[in-house]
Each structure stands twice: as C-alpha cells, then as structure tokens.
C-alpha cells in the first residue's frame, strides 16, 4: 500500500463524523431509510446532528395567506423532526372517528413486520382470492413469500393479499390477526382506532363492525411504520414486477408532475362507499429535509377528490408557512 493511499484512508476515516453531520441533511439521505434509522437509533443520530435551536420558531405562519378551506371531513398535517417531536400545522376535525378503508393496510403490514418471518412462503387460498377486489392478480394454490405479498398489499391495496397474509400464513387465522391489529393499536395509544378485518372493506350488513380510526391516530400509526424501511420502500414505488403481472401503485401522486414530487417519501390510499376517499402522504418538509410532514385526509367525496384535496393541502402548507 502506497504512503499516499494510507494518508487518503486516514483522512477519510477522520472526516467521517463531519461528513455524516453535513450530508445527513442532504435531501437524498432524508428518505424513509433516514427516518427508519432515526427512530431505531435516536441516540446515534442525536450525536451526529447539531442540536435543535429552541429559539428557532420555524416554520412561522404566514398571516398574509388565508386559512385553508378543505372539503374532506377530517384532515391533519403533522410536522415531525428527527427526534420524533411533533407539531400540528393543520387540522380539521382530526380526532373524529371515521371509516378508513384501505388505510387499514398500514396496520396489516405493521403486524406482519412485527410478527412474521418475511422469507416464509404462504400458499394463497381460495378464500383469499374470493375477497372483493379490483385487481385480483393472485392465484389460488400459488406459493409466494410473505415479503412479496406486502407489495400488492400496499401498492395496489390488494384485499386478496391482505386476507392471505392474515389467514394463510402457517399458524395464523384471520381472527387472531385482527386481535394483533387491535393490540398494536392499544400499545400505540390509538384511542379512536378499531379493526374488524385486515382489508378495510365495508361490512356486508349494517349490523357488522367496520374498521374505524381518526386522522390523528393514523398520523401516529404512520410515524410508527416509518421504523420499517421496507414498508416505505414499497409505498414509494410506482410500479413493481417480479412474479407475474406488473403491480401499479394506486397513489397517483407518485407520478404526478407536482412541484413537490421529489419530496415525497411515500403514501397510502383508500376508498370505499362508507369511508369515501382517504389518503396518507409523507413528505420532506419544504427547505428543511431534516423534518417530515405526515398528512392524512379522510372522507373526501370520492376517489379522485382525495388526490386533489391532498394537493391543495400540501400547496397551502408551502405558502402558509415561512420555512
């Protein structure tokens, strides 16, 4: 090894702390992987980062911009810094308990991540593919890994995948899985949240139970799922193909030409007749990739309105605050 190369290596080693401190703030490093590691290892990242200045009040409300008028029934936008500290920057009836449609699948995925072996194969049952479904890309009798099933679950909101994960995994049944979902909700102090099924489908009869939550609770759930980087890798993927048909993400904002497209970390959509249009979208904060915004909309009037309402919310936040 040449002397010059040794000096290069020494310089590289001693520059790592400074490099980490500076570059951890770069936009490309502030993806879901950054937030995943922050919540998993807060003491490590706290040591690398400069302390947050308490006297810095940003973002500051720009009083020249009028309050937002949004039609969706329940909305919240929560600003979260690298230590997990939160600040609500917009809300409308955020604690109202409402049906949540396929936003349910965030909890379905979280339970899978915390309780399953992702490499284990699941044989898709006839009952799974019999679920009410728009896509129906799974085949009864086919063996797929648990990890793969998270892709149709989160990208296409596959009810087949949700049911199969909850009922076809060795040793698991849907009733036990739903119990785990509600147990997780209790542990996360989601007081307005209740799960009756792993899919988010409306019940067959008016007397049957339905999945319920609030925008506030779903923001907390989203924050918890950030710890699972695989989930947000999936939730940020527009298209994916490895087994059979191509999977296309239902979140069209991933490919829309919005000005803040590059700041999107990921999101999840939902729609049923009872729930209306629902969407969660997580972005890096404007001009401050050291923070993220968790945005939740429930009860938009239809499937298209959820996207328009989310655009309205994010655009307003960009203008209504001085970042």
The mean pLDDT value of the chain amounts to 87
Is residue 231 within 8 A of residue 149, CB to CB? The reply is: no
Helix (H, G, I), strand (E, B) or coil at 297: strand
Alpha helices by DSSP H, the chain:
3-23, 32-40, 42-48, 104-115, 126-129, 146-155, 159-167, 174-187, 215-225, 229-235, 303-320
pLDDT in tens, 34-54: 555 555 554 444 444 344 444
Residue 5, in any domain of the structure: no
Residue whose C-alpha is closest to residue 199's, from 123, 299, 99: 99
Residues of the chain with pLDDT under 70: 1-56, 134-136
The string of DSSP letters for 146-157 reads: HHHHHHHHHHS-
Task: Tell how far CA 63 is from the center of its chain.
Answer: 31
| Cα gap 222→138, rounded to integer Å | 27
Give the burial string for 117-144 (b: 16+ CB within 10 Å, else e): eeeeebebbeebbebebebebbeeeeeb
Would you say the C-alpha torsion 226, 227, 230, 233 has a positive or negative sign? positive
Is residue 314 within 8 A of residue 283, CB to CB? The reply is: yes
What was the pLDDT predicted at 24?
33
Domain of residue 136, CATH code: 3.40.710.10
Residue 231, in any domain of the structure: yes
Residue 11, in any domain of the structure: no
Residue 201, in any domain of the structure: yes
Q: Which two tokens stand for residue 235?
A: 């939730």
Indicate the number of domains in the chain. 1
Residue 308, in any domain of the structure: yes
Residue 283's DSSP bridge partners are: 264, 293
What was the pLDDT predicted at 151?
97
C-alpha R_g of the chain = 21
Is residue 198 within 8 A of residue 181, CB to CB? The reply is: yes
What was the pLDDT predicted at 136?
64
What was the pLDDT predicted at 7?
44
| Cα gap 310→305, rounded to integer Å | 8
What was the pLDDT predicted at 47?
40
Q: Which two tokens stand for residue 2?
A: 């040449």
Query: Which residue segment(s) compose the domain that 59 sits in?
Result: 18-322
What was the pLDDT predicted at 53?
46
Residue 96, in any domain of the structure: yes
Cα–Cα distance list, 106 to 74, 113, 228 (Å): 18, 11, 11
């Amino acid at each position: 090894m040449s002397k010059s190369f040794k000096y290069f290596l020494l310089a590289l080693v001693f520059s790592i702390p400074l490099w980490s401190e500076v570059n951890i703030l770069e936009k490309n490093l502030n993806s879901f992987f950054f937030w995943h590691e922050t919540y998993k290892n807060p003491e490590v990242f706290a040591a690398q980062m400069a302390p947050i200045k308490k006297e810095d009040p940003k973002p500051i409300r720009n009083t020249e911009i009028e309050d937002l008028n949004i039609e969706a029934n329940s909305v919240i936008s929560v600003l979260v810094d690298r230590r997990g500290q939160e600040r609500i920057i917009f809300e409308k009836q955020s604690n109202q308990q409402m049906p949540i449609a396929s936003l349910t699948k965030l909890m379905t995925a979280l339970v899978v991540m915390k309780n399953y072996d992702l490499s284990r194969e699941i044989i898709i049952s006839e009952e799974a593919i019999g679920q009410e479904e728009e896509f129906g890309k799974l085949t009864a009798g086919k063996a797929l890994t648990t990890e793969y099933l998270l892709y149709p679950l989160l990208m296409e909101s596959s009810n087949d995948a949700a049911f199969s994960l909850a009922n076809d995994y060795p040793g698991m049944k849907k009733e036990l899985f739903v119990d785990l979902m509600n147990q997780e909700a209790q542990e996360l102090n989601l007081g307005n949240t209740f799960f009756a099924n792993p899919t988010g489908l409306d019940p067959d009869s008016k007397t049957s139970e339905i999945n319920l939550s609030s925008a506030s609770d779903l923001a907390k759930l989203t924050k918890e799922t950030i710890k699972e980087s695989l989930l947000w890798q999936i939730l940020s993927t527009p298209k994916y193909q490895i087994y059979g048909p191509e999977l296309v993400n239902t979140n069209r904002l991933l490919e829309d030409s919005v000005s803040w497209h590059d700041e999107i970390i990921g999101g999840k959509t939902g729609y049923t007749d009872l729930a209306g249009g629902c969407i969660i979208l997580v972005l890096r904060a404007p001009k401050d990739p050291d923070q993220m915004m968790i945005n939740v909309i429930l009860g938009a009037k239809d499937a298209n309105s959820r996207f328009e309402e989310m655009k309205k919310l994010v655009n307003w936040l960009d203008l209504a605050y001085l970042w």
